[in-house]
Structure 1
Amino acid sequence: MRKRTVSIPIRTWDRDYGNGIAVINMESEIPGSKEFNYAHRHDYHLFVLQESGISHTEIDFKQYFIDQPTIIYQSPNQVHRALKVKQLSGFIMTMSNENLHADYLKILQMNTPVEPLTLSSKTDLAIIREAFSLCKKLFDRRDDKLYDRQVRDSCNTLVGLFMSQFLKQTKDAEKLSRFEIVHKAFTGLLEQNFVSMKRPADYAAALNISVAYLNECVKNATGLSVSYQIQQRIILEAKRLLYHSDRSVKEVAIELGYDDYPYFSRLFTKVAGVTALTFRRKNHD
């Protein structure tokens, strides 16, 4: 059942866990886990190793049933909820932007979203489990003189292990074409700026290239235009707000930077194939 809410709930950082980083063992009953049944997002990055048990999760309108060792990464923007959890064991790590190494943060932004990834290799599972275990032990050593640095550096190493697993599914950086390199840079910018930057020219200027070249790169890499990808990202956010909050369509339009409500309504219908009100009614029935 959907929980009525003015806007999408945001689980903010729990300062009791430390200065922007937390590492906890995951069991069937995580503190506050009942809140996970309702759609929410975080103001931090979430990294999960599910070693055993069953989880049924919904992330941005897609459902995942996980019953094997799996790693999961969720960005601050993604909306998710737990549909079912049973006898879970593993680890959870949360990190704020400020604690992430700049290179890792850039990689995350350029490759988000990523699907939950089953760890078929026992070696990969073992090293990620060991890294999580070390991070947890260091996280609990609060009296160490270099506590903050120890925790930050070890957890960033774990982030690197996560991303190396996800990047196995993609080409090596040195094998990327110039089109793919530009597309990845565009994707990172889009994820961070879709509310304020709505024109291809905005992204071309930020990347110091022409609009024509940006379109050439994105179309070559994906078969889709820059405008199409901008619109898809905006409408995804609109769908999140329409489904998971009780804001009016006009309020959603304003939140996404559209003062022209009729224009936003036409854009939603064009991209989603139904009107915003029809989408809301259909998904709330």
Structure 2
Amino acid sequence: MIRMMSEKEPIHIRQAHLSVPFVYRTMQEVEERRNQTPDLPHRHDYFTVLVVEEAEGTHQIDFTNYPLRPNTVYFVSPEQIHHVTLMQPTPRGHVVLFRPDFLQNYSIAPAQLYDMDLFFNCDESRPIELTATEMRQLQPFLSAIANEVAESNLQKWEAVGAWLKLFLVQCKRFKAANYLPNKPLDKRKSEIVKQFKNDVEQLFKQFHKVGDYADRQLLTANHLNDVIKAETGTSAKDFIQNRLVLEAKRLARYSELSAKEIAYQLGYEDVAHFSKVFKKAENVAFTEFRTNLPNV
């Protein structure tokens, strides 16, 4: 159920926290909670995996709307803003929530998680669409997680961590089979791209220049740019600016900060420079973008 807002009503982004390291719920359980507390776009400090078996509606992740489709898995990283709108009262599926510290404590290093390319790097957050057969292959992992969470078995959370890792590995295999381009794997280039993406996600407010990221890998700026362009189709400079612009759009939509304050938060001392970067990326001035944002 979505609450309509007037044009003058300020919009605040809710920060959702997870009080425990790991949570499993069915989609139906989540929807029952939503009926008691209306859901609005919100930002998590934890990872979310939404496994849809049957549902109709929309899953908005940042500024992209993805239709909720049967046999589809959606991944949301900490700090992403998302919102689910359901068109049917009884969805079927699974919701898995876990904090970064759960990964560290139970067998999955954060770097290993990002290496799976399932969760957010600013150029990709596309869900994985599966066949009915592939979805059935995920069911044993999800059932095992649900059973472990419900019981009080010895080394319960170690088992949950192991099943979660197997589930994510299987999702990675499906993604590799369905989406990755058919080209020879260059391990070194792959490592450069992964570190660059992770560095940008962590440091985009601090470092705006390709050379800053090249220095972290002991590369020249030209070489880093060549690798990123060849492997992703996007130049390193554009990748950095796309991440900055995404954060600017989030703040424009869900905060009352002025353009100058947003520019400062993103590491720009000159608001005119920030405005130039934004307009080049979006083909619209920042103030115009903000003025034309639709109501929730």
Normalised TM-score (structure 2):
0.84
The correspondence for 1:92, drawn from 91, 95, 106, is 95
Does the aligned pair in 1 maintain the 2:193–2:228 contact within 8 Å?
Answer: yes
Give the CA deviation at 1:162: 2.3
- What does residue 158 of structure 1 align with? 167
Three-state SS of the structure 2 residue aligned to 1:23 is strand
Most deviating of 224-233 and 152-161: 152-161
- With over 3 angstroms needed to count, the CA separation of the structure-2 counterparts of 1:186 and 1:163, relative to structure 1, is same
Q: Which amino acid aligns with 1:148?
A: W
Shift of 1:2: 5.4
Do the aligned partners of 2:77 and 2:119 also contact (CA within 8 Å) in 1?
no
Aligned counterpart, 1:21: 22
Aligned partners of 1:58, 1:41: CA distance in 2, in Å? 12
Give, as a single letter, the amino acid of the residue that structure 2 aligns with 1:58.
Answer: Q
Report the Cα offset of residue 171 of structure 1.
Answer: 4.6
Q: Structure 1 residue aligned with 2:218, among 180, 185, 208?
A: 208
2:127 corresponds to which residue? Answer: 116
Give 2:58's aligned residue.
56
Name the residue aligned to 2:15: 10
Matching residue's letter, 2:168: V
SS of the residue corresponding to residue 197 of structure 1 reads coil
Structure 1 unpaired stretches of 5+: none
Matched AA of 2:157: D
Following TM superposition, by how much is the alpha carbon of 1:192 offset from its aligned partner in structure 2, in angstroms? 2.3
Distance between the aligned counterparts of 1:70 and 1:224, measured in 2? 27
Distance 1:76 1:24 in 2: 18
Unaligned runs of 5+ in 2: none
User: 2-side partners of 1:104 and 1:85: how far apart?
Assistant: 36
Question: What is residue 78 of structure 1 aligned with on the other side?
Answer: 80
- Share of identical aligned residues, percent? 24
2:49 corresponds in structure 1 to 47
- Say whether the 8 Å CA contact 2:60–2:84 is kept in structure 1: yes
Q: Which amino acid aligns with 2:125?
A: V
Preserved CA contact (<8 Å) 1:39 1:81: yes
Deviations along 1:88-128, whole A, 9 cap, x unmatched? 11111011112221153232568633312221141x21121
1:222-273 deviation per Cα after TM superposition (whole angstroms, max 9, x unaligned): 3432111111110011011112333221222222222322221222122221
CA–CA distance in structure 2, aligned partners of residues 52 and 110 of structure 1: 21
Residue 33 to residue 61, structure 1, CA distance change in 2 (3 Å): farther
Deviates more, 1:100-109 or 1:226-235: 100-109
Structure 2: how far apart are the matches of 1:223 and 1:176? Answer: 16
Q: Secondary structure at the match of 1:156?
A: helix
Letter in 2 for 1:244: Y
More moved, 225-234 vs 101-110: 101-110
Q: What are the superposed Cα offsets for residues 69-94 of structure 1, whole Å, 9 maximum, x if unpaired?
A: 21111111321112334221111101
How far has the Cα of 1:6 moved from its partner? Answer: 6.3
Instruction: Please state how far the C-alpha of 1:50 moved relative to its aligned partner.
Output: 0.8
| TM-score for the superposition, normalised by structure 1 | 0.87
**Aligned residue-pair number:** 279
| Aligned ranges 1:1-285 → 2 under 5 Å | 1=4, 7-13=12-18, 15=19, 18=20, 20-27=21-28, 29-32=31-34, 37-86=39-88, 87-100=90-103, 101-102=108-109, 103-108=111-116, 112=120, 113-122=124-133, 124-141=134-151, 143-168=152-177, 169-171=179-181, 175-176=185-186, 178-284=188-294
Letter in 1 for 2:131: S
Distance 2:256 2:116 in 1: 30
- The answer on whether the counterparts of 1:60 and 1:79 sit within 8 Å (CA) in structure 2 is yes
The 2-side partners of 1:215 and 1:196 are apart by 19
Deviates more, 1:240-249 or 1:128-137: 240-249
Judge conservation of contact 1:114–1:166 (CA < 8 Å) in 2.
Answer: no
